[in-house]
Amino acid sequence: MAEQPAIVLVRPQLGENIGKAARAMLNFGLTDLRLVAPRDGWPNPAAGPAAAGADVVLERARVYETTADAVAECALVFATTVRKRGDTKPVVGPDEAAEQIHGLAGKSAILFGPERSGLDAADVSLARTILTVPINPEFGSLNLAQAVILCAYEWSRAKDLVQPPKTDALPPAPQEELDGLIAHLDRLLSQKNYFLPEERAEASRRTLRNVLTSANWNHLEVRTMRGIFSTLENPPRGERRR
């Protein structure tokens, strides 16, 4: 599982909005809040009431002098901007950003600009990727906490959807290997009269195949099982050489 992204508020103006952002974050399990040069200093008495109980986020918040300091250790930085400005950077929505964050081994950060002006060009230049919420073009009026909650929501949503990385997983064994395994076990069981009486045999064999097929073993696992069956049908190992 990837680390959760840092939410970086760059030069936020109102303590109330910092509190609301913290609340939005915690609603979806985010707790890493970073503040770059908050206008009214930090802590800010207006933040607590607006956080509506998300005090843990405020208490852990870290303050930085520059945006670069705030994201120094991050491998992937997103800059939220409402408008595109002929960007040369890739532009993603909150959904794709969330997927990228979950796919990352390292730390990520999402930058949010001051309430009135948004991120400046220097802040944006720190980011690898632009994050834009696709909004009504005739009424773009997303406030800071709303932008944060949409990003947090998508992160939380993608977390549930995320699968364990598949790099280690081997594909299932080829069918012929599985068939060999089944035949092997069938032989052993036949010797023990497992498939008698005759009229039950077909159903029992189907059950056997279903069970082994559902195991979805890869070729290494099938090989291991073959070894086990061989062991079972042969005399005890120590006695073979006698």
Closer of 67 and 81 to a second copy (Cβ): 81
Mark the segment that binds a second copy (CB under 8 A) among 38-46, 68-76, 133-141, 166-174: 133-141
Please tell me whether residue 135 binds a second copy under the rule CB under 8 A. Answer: yes
C-alpha 241/C-alpha 225 separation (Å) is 23
DSSP 172: B
Which of 73, 160, 176, 239 touches a second copy by CB under 8 A? 160
C-alpha 101/C-alpha 109 separation (Å) is 9
Please tell me whether residue 191 binds a second copy under the rule CB under 8 A. Answer: no
Which of 157, 209, 219, 226 touches a second copy by CB under 8 A? 157
Which of 49, 90, 103, 140 touches a second copy by CB under 8 A? 140
C-alpha 56/C-alpha 135 separation (Å) is 31
Q: How many residues bind a second copy (CB under 8 A)?
A: 28
C-alpha 182/C-alpha 208 separation (Å) is 8
Which of 124, 150, 158, 181 touches a second copy by CB under 8 A? 150
C-alpha 77/C-alpha 67 separation (Å) is 11
Pick the closest to residue 63 from 92, 33, 87, 40 (CA basis).
33
Pick the closest to residue 18 from 133, 145, 110, 108 (CA basis).
145
Min CB(209)–a second copy separation in Å: 32
Pick the closest to residue 122 from 62, 58, 55, 36 (CA basis).
36
Helices (H), 162-197: 175-191
Please tell me whether residue 47 binds a second copy under the rule CB under 8 A. Answer: no
CB 34 within 8 A of CB 41: no
Please tell me whether residue 29 binds a second copy under the rule CB under 8 A. Answer: yes
Mark the segment that binds a second copy (CB under 8 A) among 105-113, 117-125, 141-149, 182-190: 141-149
Mark the segment that binds a second copy (CB under 8 A) among 48-56, 113-121, 222-230, 234-242: 48-56
Chain positions contacting a second copy, by CB under 8 A: 23-24, 26-29, 52-54, 93, 95, 133-136, 139-143, 145-146, 149-150, 153, 156-157, 160
